Structure formats: C-alpha cells, structure tokens
Amino acid sequence: MDDQIRLSAFEWLDKQIVIYGDVLPRDILEKGFIFNGERITLMGAKGIWKPKLMTYPLSITTIPGGAYDDINLPDGFLKYKYRGSDPYHPDNKGLRSLISLRKPLIYFLSVIKSKYLVTWPVYIINDNIKDLVFTVAVDDVKSIKQNLDKIDEDATYYRRSYLTSTIQTRVHQRSFRERVLLAYQNHCTLCNLKHVELLDAAHIIADKEDIGDPIIQNGLALCKIHHAAFDNNFIGISPDYIIKIRTDLLAETDGPMLRFGIQSLNNAKLILPLNKIHWPDRERLERRYSIFQQTY
C-alpha cells in the first residue's frame, strides 16, 4: 500500500507540473488526490509529512528562514534538520527507516509564501544523530524502479551529488520569476496579457552581469513573445518607462501579430506594478536602453 500510494503521488505531481510548472501552490498540495476512495495529502502542518494511510513519510519541506536550518552541504547534498531534538520522535524514526528501505520522497522548497519548488525522487542517505540532521540526495526518476542488486554505488553518488547541487540554481530562477510575477499581478507589463502560463520574468540586466541582481527592480513580467523581442532588442524600454520599437520593424508590413502585438506598442507606457517600490530600476533601464539604441 505504501509503495502504491508513493507511486501514485509521483504520477499526480507529473500532471500538476504540466499545468502549473514545477512551482506549485500550497493549497493544491494540501488538497492532494484520491487513492482508493481516500484523500492523500502531500503536505501538512509538519515539515516531515506522512499521510494517514501510509507507513512511512511521503514528503519533507523546507522554508528558508524558518525554524530549521536546512542548507546544502559542500558535496552538493542537502542537510535536513530533525524534527525537534528527540532522535526517536516518530517523524525522525520514519525518515531514518527510509535509509535502509531506499524509499523515495518528495521535497518541497518554499520560493515565496505558499508556493513550493517540487523535486522528486529524493532519498535519505545518511543520519547524524549527534548533530540531529539527515542527509538528503536528489536522484532521477529511473532510480525509483532500479534493481537494488545492480546499483553502481560510485555512479549513484556522483549523479546524486550533481542533481542535488542544481536545486540552488532552480530556486534562484523560480524565486525570481514568482516574485516578479506577483509584483506585476500576473500580467505582461507591455500588453497586459494575464495568463500566467504564458508569462516570464525577464531580466533587465542579465544575471551574469555586475548589476544583474535577482531582484524585482531588475525584472519585468513579459509574455513569451515580448520577452523574446526584448531580449533580442526588437523592443526597448526607456528609463522613463516608454516602450520603443526598432525602426526597421515599424517599417515592416506583416500579419496582425506584428501590427497589433509589436508595432502598436511604440511610444506606449509600461503597465507598472501597483507598489512603486517594485518599479523597474531606472539606472538598469538606462544601461539596457543604450544597448537597444545602437540597433534603433
């Protein structure tokens, strides 16, 4: 029963990610899905979560800045704090059991309030009772059905180390997107499109550059077509929040996408966040606009 529910949870998550992406709202996770007439919740009040029908925990959750100091270790793996200080608390015993059983878990990491980056399968691979921490590793989905007698320990270690280390990059990217879209109330700052599935968080200054910080003021909520146009300097945005279209595009004749989706935006104003503190940084816009002007 435990294994069947676990696999059903993974399949259910696959479907949710197709709809929402890999950052899911808490209410969906708390509601969960129906298995054999019973509701299976994937998240609850506790960081180590075990639905009533299951024998062992199904998920673990980290909230940065929360009560537990969960961090990435130097070898790429995740340190996950015990619940409380009793090594034999049922939640801690449940996670400890998963080491020998090699059962996979789901890992939820908060990127903004009530939204979580979802990763699975993850495994508890070590238990440090002295420091009250577990070591957690991410693996690929093939590991779920892997023959335990044919596991290459060295290959598994390096694969898991690499996959776990990529969580920090994913958190950085997803957190930036969620914070920017929230500030812009989930609409494109150029055309006002409100379908979040078609929106991106665009950097004004690329994150690899010196002032490319992952902050809302260095971001713009853009639909995918306008994001691509902005990144390729078909569209520019002046420091006073005026949209400019490249001269050669204004002279082109094409279908309605060019005419209404791009050309008609020339000299229009951005649709800015309600909170002025989240408006695009003028210094960054000026730097980016100077690059656009070279093509203007």
The DSSP H or E segment spanning 284 is helix 282-293
Q: Does domain 2-174 have CATH number 2.30.280?
A: yes
Percent of the chain with pLDDT over 90: 72
Q: What average pLDDT does the chain have?
A: 91
Q: What integer pLDDT is reported at residue 149 of this predicted model? A: 58
- The three-state secondary structure class of 177 is helix
Phi, psi of 230 (to 5 degrees): -65, -45
Residue 72's pLDDT is 64
How far apart (Å, rounded) are the C-alpha atoms in residues 199 and 221? 7
CB atoms within 10 A of CB 265: 18
Gap between the terminal Cα atoms of the chain: 64
Confidence tier at 244 by pLDDT (50, 70, 90): very high
Q: Beta strands 133-138 and 115-128: pairing type? A: antiparallel
Averaged pLDDT for residues 110-115: 91
The CA distances from residue 84 to 16, 65, 129, in Å, are: 32, 16, 12
Q: Are 112 and 178 in contact (CB under 8 A)?
A: yes
Token pair 């002279």 in the structure block, residue: 251
Give me 29's structure tokens. 């996770």
If you write DSSP's letter for every residue of 154-175 in order, what string do you get?
A: HHHHHHHHHHHHHHHHHHHHHH
pTM: 0.82
Beta bridge partners of 39: 34
E strand intervals along the chain? 23-25, 33-35, 38-40, 48-49, 59-62, 71-72, 78-81, 105-112, 115-128, 133-138, 199-203, 219-223, 235-237, 243-245
Structure confidence by residue, pLDDT tens digits, 22-60? 999 999 999 999 999 999 999 998 999 999 999 999 999
Higher pLDDT, 241 or 157: 241
Q: What is the pLDDT of residues 170-188, one digit of tens each?
A: 888 899 999 999 999 999 9
**Domain limits of the chain?**
2-174, 184-293
**Which residues, in sequence order, are bridge partners of residue 135?**
79, 126
Averaged pLDDT for residues 183-204: 95
- Summarize pLDDT for 231-240 with one digit per residue, the tens: 999 999 999 9
What integer pLDDT is reported at residue 39 of this predicted model?
Answer: 96
- Phi, psi at 245, each rounded to 5°: -110, 140
CA distance 188 to 183: 11
